[in-house]
Amino acid sequence: MQSFCYYCPTKVLFGKDSEQQVAQQVQEFGGSRVFVVYGGGSVVRSGLLGRVQSALDGANLPCRMLGGVQPNPRLGLARQGVQEALSFGADFILAVGGGSVIDTAKAIAHGVAEPSVDIWDYWEGTRTVQKSLPVGVILTISAAGSEMSDSSVLTNEETGVKRGLSTPFNRPRFAVMNPELTYTLPAYQVACGIVDIMMHTLDRYFTPTKGNQLTDAFAEALLRTVIANGRTAMQDSHDYEAMSELMWCGSVSHNGLTGLGAAVDFVPHKLGHELSGKFDVAHGASLAVMWGAWAAYSWREHPERFVQFAREVWGIQSGSEQERAEAAIRETVQYFQSLGMPTDFTSLGIGVQSDEVLWGMADKATRGDAMRLGSFKPVNKEAAFAIYQLANQ
């Protein structure tokens, strides 16, 4: 087991009607003027935003709203949010939505705390976040795990670059998780969420680190739970138990627990971000496309890991090492397909791409071949191109 620091300070309020506690939680974490961030309108239509407004009004907490966050959230709106939150005098940022809204709220919080810095500098890595405003979350989709994670992912719409920032300042103070708030999700978003939740654990589980028993057991249990409840959720998005399991798995899958003590990989995520940055495809869909290609390219590096995955997650006990590894890859890809998820560029809707496009994405993902991605089988620009080629059909 590798040394680790586990810092996961987010207070979780889970269950039916938990959003009723929002005003009290804002006050507990020192908020008195609340800047509320939301997306394209689902929380308006569901009535959730109105209930949040009433709760804040009832507690005499002035608030200002910023809507319009798109999936693959844009830098431009985050910058606008910083200016609006500053002019309002916000001391607390409340995200009402999914990963895109939460990540925008985190960016606004950093920008308000340090107005002299252009927030993109943090995502470029030329500056380090030194302070931030407190962020609270009311979660409406089980997927990105941003409600407990130390990450925030933004897209610079001027350059088409999608980039993640990890810092302890990204951890929200509290996360309200009411599974009933996810009942209004379209099936496609439920499916994207299931894939993303699985991928946050798979991208940690496929590691060269050996002998990490408890972390492995957490990871395998989480994957089995998501696979089973994902099937139920796709049949009935009003199944409270299934939506509850997905919601809690979504948070635990990306709060660090399923990768503790291990060198994490995250190559499919990094390659998927280039797809979303260039083609504006849903994050979960990009991962469903990249994972099978990545696995086919990488499994021979540590075949025993795929054999363990085959046994513990898919119940595959027989066959040669190669047969088990390939069967587990097939099962996973077929599971994604059973959710209606794409597993190559054609089913993703972008069509077969030229080598030039693949090299361009490989170049961006590896920052001009200056970065090696991942740990399971480290990936340079040439390897990234080879993985894109496997998905390019």
Q: Which residues bind ligand NZQ (CB under 6 A)?
A: 39-43, 71-73, 97-101, 103, 140-141, 143-146, 149, 151-153, 181-182, 184-185, 189, 192-193, 196, 254, 269, 283
Q: Choose between 31 and 73: whose C-beta lies nearer to ligand NZQ.
A: 73
> Per-residue x/- mask for Zn ion, residues 95 to 114, rule CB under 5 A?
--------------------
Q: Choose between 103 and 196: whose C-beta lies nearer to Zn ion.
A: 196
Smallest gap from Cβ 291 to Zn ion, in A, equals 11
Q: Choose between 119 and 316: whose C-beta lies nearer to ligand NZQ.
A: 119
230, 196 Cβ separation under 8 angstroms: no
59, 34 Cβ separation under 8 angstroms: no
Determine the distance from the C-alpha atom of residue 101 to the mean position of all C-alpha atoms in its chain, rounded to a whole number: 12
Q: Rounded to whole angstroms, what are the CA distances from 322 to 177, 191, 302, 345, 351?
A: 41, 29, 11, 26, 31
194, 284 Cβ separation under 8 angstroms: yes
135, 93 Cβ separation under 8 angstroms: yes
Using CA atoms, how far apart are residues 118 and 339, in angstroms rounded to an integer? 40
Q: Is 150 in the site for Zn ion (CB under 5 A)?
A: no
The entry of Zn ion, ligand NZQ, none that residue 146 binds, CB within 5 to 8 Å by partner kind: ligand NZQ
Smallest gap from Cβ 344 to ligand NZQ, in A, equals 20
Give the E-state strand segments of the chain in sequence order: 11-14, 34-38, 63-66, 92-97, 135-139, 151-156, 161-166, 174-177
Q: Is 274 in the site for Zn ion (CB under 5 A)?
A: no
The entry of Zn ion, ligand NZQ, none that residue 39 binds, CB within 5 to 8 Å by partner kind: ligand NZQ
Smallest gap from Cβ 361 to Zn ion, in A, equals 17
* Residues 180-209 contacting Zn ion, CB under 5 A: 196
Q: What is the pairing mode between strands 34-38 and 63-66?
A: parallel
Instruction: Give strand pairing partners of 174.
Output: 11, 136
The entry of ligand NZQ, Zn ion, none that residue 185 binds, CB within 5 to 8 Å by partner kind: ligand NZQ
Using CA atoms, how far apart are residues 360 and 323, in angstroms rounded to an integer? 34
301, 265 Cβ separation under 8 angstroms: no
Say how many residues touch Zn ion, by CB under 5 A. Answer: 1
Q: Choose between 251 and 325: whose C-beta lies nearer to ligand NZQ.
A: 251
Smallest gap from Cβ 301 to ligand NZQ, in A, equals 23
Residues that bind Zn ion (CB under 5 A): 196
